[in-house]
Every structure is written in C-alpha cells, then in structure tokens.
Amino acid sequence: MRVAAIQLDVVWEDPPANYRRAEKRIQEAAALGAGLVILPEMFACGFSMRPDRVAEVPGGPTEAFLAEVAGGLGVHVLAGVPLRLDAGAPRNCAVLVAPDGGVRRAGKLHPFSFAGEHEHYAFSDEVHTWEVGGLRITPLVCYDLRFAEPFRLAATRTDLFVVVANWPERRRAHWQTLLRARAIENQAFVVGCNRVGDGDGLHYAGDSAIVSPWGEALSGAAEQETVLVADLDPAAITAARAAFPALRDRRPEAYRLAEPG
C-alpha cells in the first residue's frame, strides 16, 4: 500500500483554515496514489489545552470533513482529533476514517503532564490495531512515542505503527531517534507525522518520517509543509523478522529486578 504523511502547517485553533489546507494536501496525496493518508495530532486546531474550544463529539465537524474527503477521493485518512467520547473529560484521539464513512478511534495512552495535558484530557488504556488494505496498523499519539511498552505489546500483530504528533523543535533529536528505535526494536514500519510552523508560542520543525523495519528512512522532511510518500508491503515485515528473528527471542516474563547491592 502507498502511504502518505502530510506534514501540515497548522493554523492555531482555526478548523476551517486547517480543513482547507489539509484538503489540498490530501488531494495531492491521492493523486500520488496513496491509499492511506495521515495527518498530524489535533490537525484542525493545534495542540490546544482548551478542550472547551476545540473538542468535538463523534461525527462532529472534523470527522464530517474527514469522511467527506475520504469518500470523495476513495482513501483512508488517519488524523488526530480531540473528542468527547463520553461524559468524562475529552480524549486526544487518533481517528481512522474509511472511504465508506466508517470511523475507528483510539485515545492517547500517556498524559503529557509537562504541558498540563493531564489536567484537560482523559487517557486510554487500550492499544488498537486496525487493518487497511492488508496492512495491520497500530496508531499512537505524540508523547506515546517515548514509551516502548505499547509498541512491544502490539509488535507481533503490527506491520505499521503510526505516530501522529505536535512535537516541538526543541526536542527534535528525541523525535528522530525514537522513531528509528521503535522501528528497529519492533521490526515494523513506523510513520511519524508531525506538524510544522508555529502555535501557542512553540515552533515545530516537522521531521516527519517513514522508517523501514531496519531503521532506514524511506522518506523524510523538515521545516516546510509537504507530503511524504512510500510504498509499504507487509511482506517486508515477514521477511525482516525471518531474516533476523529478534522478536522471537524476547523473554519479558523471564527476568526481574534483583535486590540492589
């Protein structure tokens, strides 16, 4: 499957402006033959800590926009959207919209307390894996990249990990390194889809990337709005794991911390 990651310059808390920008780039990705198109975390508003302004109910304006574009172009779109899924606090979600209008949602797993996200959003305890065109996809959201556990948990059922993000420039070395590390240690493709531009006092350098199970960059970009494209074949995952069967040698249940000293 051809996968496209859209490194979007997000306009702060202005969904209509971001819909226009995103639609143009999704059309570009579809013209390049992409079957799955990925947008950054909270692509319609930026990483806002004001859920009263930006969080929507399922089927709200942002999901409706994604469904219209996905249906019109015949592509799957995976994007970050803040949602009110229940009576509790909103969730920072990854949302997959199919051409037929079907929607699947996965909440962010880890609170980015450094920015106070835990004070405004609730968090999920489920790691989801979805199949699109024969490719098994596990979505995660931004800060989740720092935690190896959900990747490990889903590794054997995943061909592609997708990380949608608003990852600021000041920690760009962490982003670049962790994307490659998660691909190598789990022997899977990883797509990191980050934003560019400025929002709420932060600068975003992008550094979006599509990484092979060997840790090689198949596509990457920094600093400017663009569309990254690569062809991802699940057979490459099977081949990599057969050629170097590291996952087979995992023994998480077989070791424990010794007493200090």
> Are 210 and 5 in contact, with CB atoms under 8 Å apart?
yes
Torsion of CA 178, 165, 187, 3, to 10 degrees: -140
Catalytic choice (41, 63, 117, 169): 41
**Given 63, 108, 169, 193, the catalytic residue:** 108
73 in Cβ contact with 97 (< 8 Å): no
Long-range CB pairs of 58-66 (<8 Å, 24+ gap) are 58/83, 58/85, 58/103, 58/105, 59/103, 61/15, 62/15, 62/19, 63/95, 63/97, 63/103, 65/19, 65/22, 65/23, 66/95, 66/97
- Is 131 in the active site? no
| 142 catalytic residue (yes or no) | yes
Query: Considering 45, 142, 169, 193, which one is annotated as catalytic?
Result: 142
- The DSSP secondary-structure symbol of 141 reads E
Active site residue 108: yes
Active-site amino acid positions: 41, 108, 142
